[in-house]
Amino acid sequence: MSLKDWLRNKWLVEHEPSPQEIGDLVSVVDRDLEDCQTPGLSPDWRLAIAYNGALQVATAALAAAGYRASREAHHYRVIQSLEYTIGVEQSSITLLDGFRKKRNIADYERAGTVSDQETTEIVALALRLRDELVRWLAEQHPDLLPKRT
């Protein structure tokens, strides 16, 4: 399967990215990666913030590749697209999708479900994905690379 197949399935729509858009998304990633390490935040919130940073990495990569996810299963599709955009290995995608589910529970169903270990893992994953995004942009889409990375 490829992103073109996803487009045919109507899981994606075509999108024309701009350097401003990609720069803004990377700024959101950077903000979230800083904020999720704020002392005193609960593990639930730290995970939610780091997860959002990782999700915005995937959103930026998908946009740079010329697509946006449709509304149905939006987060799931954006996360899964990392395989086809920046070439993230399936184990990391599975891990991030697990954090998506954990975040949903912590945000909508039950507080106190996130451990410090899980928070450490999602922060490390989000940081690594950000680095992979910047490297991929430099190689594949240098015209979209934000000036400050």
Q: Where are the domains of the chain?
A: 3-144
Between the CA atoms of 63, 17, 54 and 72, what dihedral angle is there, to the nearest 10 degrees?
Answer: -40
Query: What Cα–Cα distance (Å) separates residue 15 from each residue in 6, 31, 55, 67, 103?
Result: 14, 25, 18, 5, 28
d(CA 147, CA 149): 6
Residue 69 phi/psi, 5-degree rounding, is -80, 145
Per-residue pLDDT of 88-98, as tens digits, reads 999 999 999 99
CATH architecture classification, 3-144: Up-down Bundle (1.20)
In this prediction the pTM is 0.94
Per-residue pLDDT of 5-55, as tens digits, reads 999 999 999 999 999 999 999 999 999 999 999 999 999 999 999 999 999
Residue 149 confidence (pLDDT) above 60: no
Query: What Cα–Cα distance (Å) separates residue 90 from each residue in 47, 60, 112?
Result: 20, 19, 28
Per-residue pLDDT of 57-90, as tens digits, reads 999 999 999 999 988 889 999 999 999 999 999 9
